[in-house]
A and B are shown apart, each in its own frame.
Chain A
Amino acid sequence: MKRHLLSAADLSRADALLVLDTAAQLAQVADRPVKKLPTLRGRTVVNLFFEDSTRTRISFEAAAKRLSADVINFSAKGSSVSKGESLKDTALTLEAMGADAVVVRHGSSGAPHRLASSGWIGGSVVNAGDGTHEHPTQALLDAFTLRENLAGGEGDLTGKKVTIVGDVLHSRVARSNVLLLSTLGADVTLVAPPTLLPIGVETWPCNVSYDLDPVIPESDAVMMLRVQLERMTDSYFPTAREYSRRYGLDNHRMSLLSEQSIVMHPGPMNRGMEITADVADSKRSVIVEQVANGVSVRMAVLYLLLGGNAPAETPIDGPLEGI
């Protein structure tokens, strides 16, 4: 594995499977009376959040704490950033405090890359969402959830049909998922109105459709994206009502899904907009499971990056064996 996790494209198939297999073992820790492993004792993980986040920050914090790392939470609100401190000076401060890993969320695409490549900090950088670019650990937890539900919890996702619906243009979740799921062999289809698809989407390793209904019956999983109202500076669709009628997941559309199919959402949901409350709370919905898996997957990432004197080596191929 590379020293930083900036993009889902940094992960080869073998790396991705190593993370998922490690996460599967670490998931057991959640069922134990003592939910803690001593592995990262004495290491410091900084959560550097320039943007609001509930589940990602809490999930990284829980993951680091379960591995016994020391966690420093830094959010831009209430810090010197609001006084105009630059990313560089913030990074140098963290470096002086001895951060072994920096988990960064930033509103600007490429900020984690800048942190990792500038030489400002010596530790590993983990991208926890940058602008409209990427969110690799979300893609990993989605892949983990898909594998648990559709592939018996092992191997890759060869031949599984995953449909990602909604605001692809502003979605770092969609971009990371397309990259990772295609690495793992899944067949990804993006569904969105033309105004909410990014330029160059035809070069992505996936199919694209403007119409949801024909795609639904063939899907093994439907991932609904949040309509990101805070990023909507222009009008991308006429009305919210029209959007939810054409691209929302309601009971009728859910009834067209095949027996084993699952419904996913990265959260936070706009209930009634891209997904109805009935669907979100239905048996097919694995949305709560996604959150639980997020902790296991982030534990795996932190362990594989920080657990040794170097990131885990990429396994050659085949099943994992103890080294």
Chain B
Amino acid sequence: MNSPRVRTVFEAADIDRVLTRISHEIIEGAKGAQDLVLLGIQSRGVPLANRIGRRISEFENADVPVGALDITMYRDDLRLRPARALETTALPEVGVDGRIVVLVDDVLFSGRTVRAALDALNELGRPRVVRLAVLIDRGHRELPIRADYVGKNLPTSLQESVRVRLAELDGDDAVTLSSGGQSPRGGPNPGGEVA
């Protein structure tokens, strides 16, 4: 077995620029910041949602509510592994009813996390519109799901794994691609991976 090679594909400055572009695109799509609610999917979607929220608040001079969504209880692969610890779900006080909700995640892969997030959202209220923003789209979808706002399309093979590092959780900002590692599906979920 060859040891995994790790390659940085995105650096802190790239992440910065991309989040600024996505923020502008969200404002454009929603025609302003009114009625917007950002929901970060645990765990790395949450700091990303916070960063985008800060940018939109700054550009539009309005407070954008930001929340966190833990989708563990809605996963379709719960029975494949031991029970997992839960993380926080925190909805902004305004709720999601009638709002334009933008789900934010780090990597879009099979689409199963987003499916679970849509199920979770369904029980929390009835948004007017739901959009999806991701930092990296690495392809290999297993469900008919696509992102509305994409930081970077990153063509990958199934043997590779994508890891997003964020300063809030990991100390620094970077996106790395490693090859020859363990299969990203079925095996333990590497941080930041959307399985």
Contacts and interface: CB of A to CB of B under 8 A. Distances in A.
B88 to A, nearest CB: 7
A307 interface: yes
Contact-residue size bin, chain B (C-beta under 8 Å from the other chain): 20 to 34
B85 A37 contact: no
Contacts of B188: 323
A303 B83 CA distance: 7
Given A303-B83, A308-B78, 14 more contacts: A25-B87, A33-B123, A33-B125, A34-B123, A37-B73, A37-B74, A39-B73, A39-B78, A307-B83, A308-B83, A309-B80, A310-B82, A322-B85, A322-B87
Given A309-B79, A322-B43, A38 B85 contact: no
A28 B73 contact: no
Contact-residue size bin, chain A (C-beta under 8 Å from the other chain): 20 to 34
Chain A's interface: helix, strand, loop or mixed, by majority? loop
Contacts of A309: 79-82
Residue with the greatest number of chain B CB neighbours at <10 A, chosen from A22, A308, A320: A308
Contact of B81 (A21, A308, A315): A308
Nearest to A315: B85
Chain B's interface: helix, strand, loop or mixed, by majority? loop
A91 to B, nearest CB: 24
A165 interface: no
Interface of B: 42-43, 70, 72-74, 78-89, 119, 123-125, 188-189
A32 B125 CA distance: 9
Q: Which 10 A-B pairs have the closest CB atoms?
A: A307-B83, A308-B83, A312-B83, A25-B86, A310-B82, A308-B82, A34-B123, A320-B85, A39-B73, A37-B73
24 contacts: A25-B70, A28-B89, A33-B123, A33-B125, A36-B123, A37-B73, A37-B74, A39-B78, A303-B73, A305-B83, A307-B78, A307-B83, A309-B79, A311-B82, A311-B83, A312-B82, A312-B84, A315-B85, A320-B85, A322-B85, A322-B86, A323-B81, A323-B84, A323-B189
